[in-house]
Amino acid sequence: MVGSTLWFSLLLAAAFAGRATALWPWPQYIQTSERRYTIFPHSFQFQYHVSSAAQVGCSVLDEAFQRYRDLLFGSVSFHFPQPMGKQHTSEKNSLVILVVTPGCDQFPSLESVENCLETFSQLVQRSPEGTFYINKTEIEDFPRFPHRGLLLDTSRHYLPLASILDTLDVMAYNKFNVFHWHLVDDSSFPYESFTFPDLTKKGSYNPATHIYTAQDVKEVIEYARLRGIRVLAEFDTPGHTLSWGPGVPGLLTPCYSGSHPSGTFGPVNPALNNTYEFMSTFFLEISSVFPDFYLHLGGDEVDFTCWKSNPDIQAFMKKKGFGEDFKKLESFYIQTLLDIVSAYGKGYVVWQEVFDNKVKVQPDTVIQVWREEMPVRYMKEMELVTSAGFRALLSAPWYLNHITYGPDWKKIYMVEPLAFEGSPEQKALVIGGEACMWGEYVDSTNLVPRLWPRAGAVAERLWSNKTVTDLDFAYKRLAPFRCELLRRGVQAQPLSVGYCDVEFEQT
Amino acid sequence: MEHRGLGWPRLSGLLELLAALAVQAVRASAVAAASPDLCLWPMPLSVQTTPRVLHLSPDNFFFSHSSTSKAGPSCSLLQEAFRRYYDYIFGFYKWHHGSADLRVGVELQQLQVSVILDPECDTFPKISSDESYTLLVKGPVASLTANRVWGVLRGLETFSQLIYQDFYGTFTVNESNIVDSPRFPHRGILIDTSRHFLSVKSIFKTLDAMAFNKFNVLHWHIVDDQSFPYQSVTFPGLSKKGSYSSSHVYTPNDVRMVIEYARLRGIRVVPEFDSPGHTQSWGEGQKDLLTPCYNGKEPSGAFGPINPIWNTTYSFLSKLFKEISTVFPDEFIHLGGDEVDFNCWASNPEIQDFMRDKGFGRNFKKLESFYMQAVLDMISAINKNSIVWQEVFDDASKLMPGTVIQVWKVEDYTQEQSKVTEAGFPVILSAPWYLDWISYGQDWKRYYAVDPLSFEGSQEQKKLVIGGEACLWGEYVDATNLTPRLWPRASAVGERLWSHKDVRSLEDAYRRLTIHRCRMLRRGIAAEPVFTGYCDHEDRM
């Protein structure tokens, strides 16, 4: 999917003029006119162009048509103004879709039509009398970066399935196309593995309620697919794995206090063959469950103190000739893991430490840059990663779990992902970025208002042309877009003082 | 002066109450922190529990009035509370009928409620309302005793927090003996419905959660620069032209409903009509109220604070506050008085003349005081007491005794408390509790660590601190994020204002707060997590 060439050009010959400028994210090319068309909900339809390669029966599109019909006109009953007395407006009855290369049943495929429908839905407005209308508009649009992701963390807090699905909806409204699912971590292991059921049985918060069954995972993947969103699953190792321990005895490193085990455990034990046998079986399952070409293998924040304390690891280090350099041990583990995953025909994304610690990785590895200051400023890191020839994903300035008072979306918005020293070839290696919502202080009570519309700032940065940076222009569109999110039932928090016609209603 | 007679007697009653509370507090002390399994919030004054457990069956448990109680089934406030707390205790769990365990242990079948004095069923809570209670949990009949219904409400909340489901799902409570009363009588939450409108439903939710945390004052900052959602009967133009839209208003009926909903939970509603600054939205519906600002010799078209030099201003305010004093039953009205910008006043030639005539020179604080004095007089003339923000004290040469000063500026707030109490004025503390100022991580610990009496001053001065308020200003808050931003962060303030000053272990607070947060979640309050972890019953699950 990365680097998809399926650009979609949308010609809207629709009616009525006004402020057709409340689009988010802003399209690459747009021309609006004063000419305004009335839309009659009862007769309006989405149609396949006769020469479209996709036709009725293309599930992704058929369902999208239905969804956007509901978003536009609601499922509530209202009186439809009848098409009489044309006056100076004219009527527009259909949006014609032409797809060159369909791929209706493939994974992340028809993102472009999906995005076009979203844009179309944002163009439709309603007059005070309740008539729907649209200005004659011509738009040609395509994303600036192919990887526009959002990370959710379901380990620090469990997120009910409904929260994840709702997030996918709002991602689609913002033209995000990658759901980075940080499934497991130290705190809990909610992913129910059929190969190793003990992982959730012993590692989840509650093995009956706080888990994702195989069915849940399938549902997330399909729900995402229908919205043109890839699911990038992360199983972070060798650190951040405490919750794996109870379900897989012997997997984690026993920490020592002097010459005795202290009873606590550290990262995955890289000195045992069993570890790699386990990983090999486990990732075979993961590779088949998650259809995306990429897996995220983590590799961040490995704490060496436990490894250092363990005599077996010390012996292993000596045997391998690693000396006192635990980065070499980390490299050894990661390289072995990467080999396993490559053998399953998967590509991988890793956190920047893997690169920083000079792990030998395959040239097509994607490095996700997340540290703001250390070891270097993140833009310097982008420069280093790309100059080493790796593809890079930017997240460092977009940790949305970090909150401050006031309109922090502006800071988020003003980041320019390519603002580093480097050749055009280096810049071309930046495939996009991700907004990250880590879960230490976030669960389903505060996820939505904390995420939206702040993540929208990242979405536009990754989709729109790099010249679209004016904050006033952004505010003028983002504020109404936030109201539109409210209208669509999304609990998106306010940007500043003011109101929306339709406010969020407590249940 | 006339107002003196109105302000002080009430206040001295209040001081006696405070003194009584202080005595009780000394008696109680450290017992509370001892019991490791208790997850009460806020921690009562004195708690004794035993390992002996009682079981409750949803089918066979009820609240009742003791035969000696001054309140009976005609007290609808209590009847409503019984129904509510029955639901909180049993409603959100899966029932386990006829559990074997139940037959083994002793059953708790009844909580018998006894009100000793005139119950005050049909009155509004006041600052002097007695919220103390004692709770004796033993089988088969437990008893809850209080002087007034207000204490019963607090005791019911505590009782509901004592009950848990054991390993087999049986409703269980340990035999206990609890004696409780609040440390401060004024424990408030400020909501701001001007920067963003909050639906009545959102306000109800907030009142529910306040009751779970034993807050007893809703400080309703109802209007401000941005919008005027309060629908005035006397001046309907104010909300007609000053609200965000015609659906963003509080009708008289809405206001009545909020006041009644609060009353049933033992919560006072203190309205704030902030002036002379923060009044841009008033100008939309009331011509010639705000000061026209000048650009040199010409009016600039912009408007400043309320114009303090015209008689029409005061006759308008007098009528408006008269209406407010009848709509809101509480004895206090908050008059604001904060952040008055003098630039516009200074630019206006008429005001310049007025200043000269009055001999104010260039000191606009004197003009501000002149205005505030007039409004304060107005309020005392309609038999109400006033609360004002600290600037009114800071900028005044003299101020009517009994005026309650709300300290909100975070810089040197303890010094401000010293000054205000030294001058003999009662204080409400808010400065360290601006919850709209968010930051990453567990900021509740900062709110919790504050002690409202940590300023320098005599015992007499300390007694003047009537309590505090957690403020959630609305610039970045509306119904979408109100609840998770307020709870459980405000709970930290709730315990600080209710519990004994020695209840301050962060570790124990963390343990209890985590469980309390899950409890709020179960009761339909989307309180955000304290830290990593989970609740049995998650929001949206």
Confidence tier at A105 by pLDDT (50, 70, 90): low
A190-213 pLDDT tens trace: 999 999 999 999 999 999 999 999
Residue A45, amino acid: Q
**pLDDT, tens only, A152-203:** 999 999 999 999 999 999 999 999 999 999 999 999 999 999 999 999 999 9
- Tell whether A491 lies on the interface with B, counting CB pairs under 8 A: yes
Give B 460-519 residues with CB within 8 A of chain A: 474-481, 483-485
**Residue B248 in contact with partner chain A when CB distance is under 8 A:** yes
Residue B259: which H helix or E strand, with range? helix B252-263
Nearest to A499 among B248, B440, B483 (CB): B248
pLDDT band at A108, cuts 50/70/90?
low
Question: Distance, in angstroms, between A368 CA and closest chain B CA?
Answer: 23
Higher pLDDT, A55 or B449: B449
The Cα of B8 is separated from the nearest Cα of chain A by a number of Å equal to 39
> How far away is chain B from the Cα of A275, in angstroms, using its nearest Cα?
28
Q: Report the gap between the CA of A409 and the closest CA in chain B (Å).
A: 12
> Could you give the C-alpha distances from A147 to A394, A414, A461, B383, in angstroms and in order?
10, 18, 12, 66
Q: Exactly one of B80, B260, B339, B460 is catalytic; which is it?
A: B339
| A160 → closest Cβ in B439, B526, B541 | B541
Comparing alpha-carbon positions, the chain B residue that sits nearest to A502 is: B247
CA distance B541 to chain A (A): 6
Give B174→chain A minimum CA distance, Å. 26
Per-residue pLDDT of chain B (541 residues; tens, 9 = 90+): 333 333 333 444 444 544 444 444 433 333 333 334 679 999 999 999 999 999 999 999 999 999 999 999 999 999 999 999 999 999 855 544 444 455 567 999 999 999 999 999 999 999 999 999 999 999 999 999 999 999 999 999 999 999 998 888 889 999 999 999 999 999 999 999 999 999 999 999 999 999 999 999 999 999 999 999 999 999 999 999 999 999 999 999 999 999 999 999 999 999 999 999 999 999 999 999 999 999 999 999 999 999 999 999 999 999 999 999 999 999 999 999 999 999 999 999 999 999 999 999 999 999 999 999 999 999 999 999 999 999 999 998 788 899 999 999 999 999 999 999 999 999 999 999 999 999 999 999 999 999 999 999 999 999 999 999 999 999 999 999 999 999 999 999 999 999 999 999 999 999 999 999 999 999 999 999 999 999 988 888 7
B526 chain-A contacts, CB cut-off 8 A: 444-446
Nearest to B201 among A156, A501, A505 (CB): A505
Please list every residue in chain B whose beta carbon sits closer than 8 Å to the beta carbon of residue A402: 440
Q: Which residues of A touch B531 (CB under 8 A)?
A: 440-441
> Distance between CA A178 and CA A151 in Å, rounded?
8
Residue A57 and residue A65: Cα distance in Å, rounded?
12
Torsion sign over Cα B439, B440, B442, B446:
negative
Residue where the block lists tokens 């039953």:
B329
Q: Is B261 exposed, middle or buried (0-12, 13-18, 19+ CB in 10 A)?
A: middle
Counted across chains A and B, CB pairs separated by less than 8 A come out at 129
Q: The pTM is what?
A: 0.91
Say if the Cβ atoms of B478 and A493 lie within 8 Å.
yes
Six token digits for residue A79: 């009186």
The minimum CA-CA distance between B368 and chain A, rounded to whole Å, is 27
Nearest CB to B479: which of A187, A501, A506? A506
Q: Per-residue pLDDT tens for B439-454? A: 999 999 999 999 999 9
Of A405, A440, A506, the CB nearest to B199: A506
Tell me, what's the pLDDT at A103?
Answer: 63
Return the pLDDT at B118. 96
Structure-block tokens of residue A319: 């045997």
Q: What integer pLDDT is reported at residue B98 of this predicted model?
A: 46
**Two structure tokens written together for A227:** 């919205």
In this complex, do B480 and A449 lie within 8 Å of one another by their Cβ atoms? Answer: yes
A458 pLDDT tier (thresholds 50, 70, 90): very high
What residues of A act catalytically? 301
Assess A440–B contact: CB distance below 8 Å, yes or no: yes
Q: What per-residue confidence (pLDDT) applies to B308?
A: 97
Note the pLDDT tens digit of each residue in A349-380: 999 999 999 988 888 899 999 999 989 999 99
Is the pLDDT assigned to residue A251 strictly greater than 70?
yes
Chain B CB contacts of A154 under 8 Å are none
Binary contact (A187, B533; C-beta < 8 A): yes
Between chains, do B528 and A493 touch, taking CB under 8 Å as contact?
Answer: no
Name the β-bridge partners of A84: none
Across chain A, mean pLDDT equals 89
- In the numeric block, which tokens belong to residue A316? 């292993």
Look up residue A431 and give its amino acid: I
- Token duo for residue A471: 């904050």
The chain A residue lying nearest B439, using CA atoms, is A404
pLDDT value of residue A98: 72
- Tell me if residue B416 is catalytic: no
Give the up-direction half-sphere exposure of residue A232: CA atoms within 13 A in the CB hemisphere.
26
Q: Give residue A127's pLDDT.
A: 84
A442 and B CB contact within 8 Å: yes
Per-residue pLDDT, B21: 45
Read out DSSP for A3-61? T----EEEEE---B-S-TT--SSPPSEEEEEEEEEEE-TTT-EEEE-TT-S--TT-HHH
**B202 and chain A in contact, CB less than 8 A:** yes
Distances (CA, A) of A30 to A9, A23, A46, A135, A136: 11, 10, 21, 12, 11
Name residues 318-377 of chain A within 8 A of B (Cβ).
Answer: none
Cα nearest neighbour of B522 on chain A:
A445
A446:B439 CB<8 A: no
Chain A nearest-CA residue for B485: A446
Tokens of A294: 């990429």
Say if the Cβ atoms of A445 and B527 lie within 8 Å: yes
- Asked if A206 is an interface residue toward chain B (Cβ–Cβ < 8 A), one would say yes
Cβ-based contacts of A439 with chain B (< 8 Å): 532
The vertex-A66 CA angle with A62 and A67, nearest 5°, equals 115
Contacts with A491 from chain B: Cβ below 8 Å: 480-481
Among A443, A452, A484, most B C-beta atoms within 10 A, so best to mutate, is: A443
Distance, in Å, from the CA atom of B80 to the CA atom of B78, rounded to the nearest integer, reads: 5
| Interchain CB distance below 8 Å, A494 and B480 | yes
Q: Looking at the complex, report in whole angstroms how far the Cα of residue B96 sits from the nearest Cα belonging to chain A.
A: 18
Q: Who's near A50: CB < 8 A, 6+ residues apart?
A: none
Q: Mark A474-498 as b/e (b = at least 16 C-beta within 10 Å).
A: bbebbbbbbbbbbebebbbbbbebb
* pLDDT band of A12, cuts 50, 70, 90: very low
